[in-house]
Every structure is written in structure tokens, then in C-alpha cells.
Amino acid sequence: MIGNIEQLLKVLGTRTPEAVEAAKALAKKGVPALCLPLKRPESLSSPQGRHAIARLLFVTDISKIMSNLLDAIASKDWRPVQTAGDVLYAMGRRSAPILIKYLETEKRSEGKINAMFVLQRISTDEAGKAIEKIALTDKDPNVRSVAVMTLGMIGAFSSKDTVVKVLRDKSLDVRFSAVKSAGYLRIKEAAKQIVKIVEKEKDPKVKAVGIYSLDRIGNPEVAKDILGFLKDSDAYVRWSAAVALRRIWNDSCRPILKKMKDPDKVVASAILETMQICCSK
């Protein structure tokens, strides 16, 4: 394909087979030309173009493109973020140390959030320490929320104490992310605090997710608290509590559960099944 850079960028953004050829033509003009679409989001509008640029960047010397990739993931436009994120993810363990160092110096919220999303995909717990600091100290609650969620999703078990601390964050969204993270990491010490958060919450869906985290943690010390959620006004919350009791069981629940009745057939069925599972032990 013959054309100047502007013509190639225009073709790259079209949903045509020629978009792939335009990407290859840009690569032949050198690394700066190949990286230019990351700064021109409109040229990454087509899946064909995005995927072609990502594939070509992946096989390029990492030292020559990394600064462009890191700048792209801090963009407010999803197209360069997705393209650069795919390349960094494909690099896997090669990009992880660079992303961790990036988190220690980056100021833009978008950059930190998108770097952590890539680290989630790579699933490396090497990032634990850097992300702990962000979860505890970043000024942006959105960043703290993603940080504490990332700790759970990458399996940063050494960060359990940090997740427990974040359960007391002043932002409800951050605390809720910490609830889910505590479930992923099965932090028994977090169970009582999660119960308190669920008790104060009004949104049934949020309460149900909190109960699911308690289910994953499986701490029998909160069994009676789970029984209390069987009295909730929302059927989904009651069903979640009935199912959670199968893992969070204490024999003191037996006489209470046997007397429990529910007007909702699905919930009543879940209670009956829990009784059959637990009361026959």
C-alpha cells in the first residue's frame, strides 16, 4: 500500500481489509509511525486496525515502544487504552515489572487504573506492595477502589491486612470493593467487619454480594449473623443467606433454621435444601 502517514491513518480507522495493510505500511515507516495511532484515537476506530497495530507493536522492541504504551493507557479515550492494554497483557511477565514501577510514579488516575486492570489480566501478585500503597493513600476513591479489588483478583494473600484496613475506608464504593476482595482472598478476620457493612447497606444487590463474600470466607463465627439476613425484606438477600449457610454453619443454627419459613418459594426451597445438607451432618 502506497500513501503518506495521514492517508494510512485514515485507512487504518476503516472497517475494511485495507486497514491491516495500512498498519503494515505504517510499521515499514518506522517505530514512531507505528506508535502514532496511539495518539490518534480516530485511527483505532475499527477492530481490524486496532488488532493489526497491537500485533505489530507486540513484535517490536519493547524498549522502543514502552513509553508510548504507558502514555496510551493514561488516555481518556478507550481506543488507545484498549490497544495498548492488549499489547502490555500479551507481553505478560515482561511488562509486569515496568507497570509496577509506573504505578509508583504515575499521577493520572486513568493511568493508574488502567495499569492495574492490565496487572489483573496478567494476574501477578508481584504488584502487591505497590498496589497496597495506592489502596491506602490515593486521593481518588475510584483509584483506591480498583486498587483494593486488584489485590483480591491477583491473589495477593500477603496483602490481607491492607484489605482489612480498607474495609474502613471513608468511601462506600471503596469499602464495597474491599468486601469483594476479602472474599476472593478468603480473609477470615474480615468477616465481622463485612457483616457490619452488610447490615448498614440498603441496596439488596450490594447486600447479596457482601453475603457471597462471607460465603467464600466461610467463617462459622458469623453463622448467626447470616441467619439474621434470612429476615431481610428482599428475597434475593434471603436466598443468598440461605445458600451461604451451607458453608458458614454452626450447630446453634439448627433449631432456628428448622423453624424458619419463607413466603417466597425459591427462598423456601433454598432453606429446605440447606437444612437437608447441614442438619443431617
Give 106-145 as a 3 state SS string.
CCCHHHHHHHHHHHHHHCCHHHHHHHHHHHHHCCCHHHHH
User: Tens digits of per-residue pLDDT, 107-151?
Assistant: 999 999 999 999 999 988 889 999 999 999 999 999 999 999 999
Name the burial class of residue 24, with classes exposed (0-12), middle (13-18) and buried (19+) by CB atoms within 10 angstroms of its CB: middle
Closest CA to 194 of 184, 204, 173, 180: 180
Average pLDDT over residues 204-228: 93
Supply angle C-alpha 167, 173, 174, rounded to 5. 40
Please state, in angstroms and rounded to a whole number, the distance separating the CA atoms of residues 253 and 31.
Answer: 66
Q: Number of helices (H) and strands (E), helices first, in the chain?
A: 18, 0
Please state, in angstroms and rounded to a whole number, the distance separating the CA atoms of residues 6 and 26.
Answer: 10
Over the chain, what is the mean pLDDT? Answer: 93
User: Tens digits of per-residue pLDDT, 139-192?
Assistant: 999 999 999 999 999 999 999 999 999 999 999 899 999 999 999 999 999 999
| CB 102 within 8 Å of CB 70 | yes
Predicted confidence (pLDDT) at residue 20 exceeds the cutoff of 90: yes
Predicted confidence (pLDDT) at residue 1 exceeds the cutoff of 60: no
Predicted confidence (pLDDT) at residue 82 exceeds the cutoff of 80: yes
- Which residues lie below 8 Å from residue 139, measured CB to CB, with a gap of 6+? none
| CB 131 within 8 Å of CB 147 | yes
Please state, in angstroms and rounded to a whole number, the distance separating the CA atoms of residues 217 and 204.
Answer: 20
Supply angle C-alpha 124, 126, 128, rounded to 5. 100
Predicted confidence (pLDDT) at residue 50 exceeds the cutoff of 80: yes
Predicted confidence (pLDDT) at residue 105 exceeds the cutoff of 70: yes
All three cell numbers of 237, joined, read 438477600
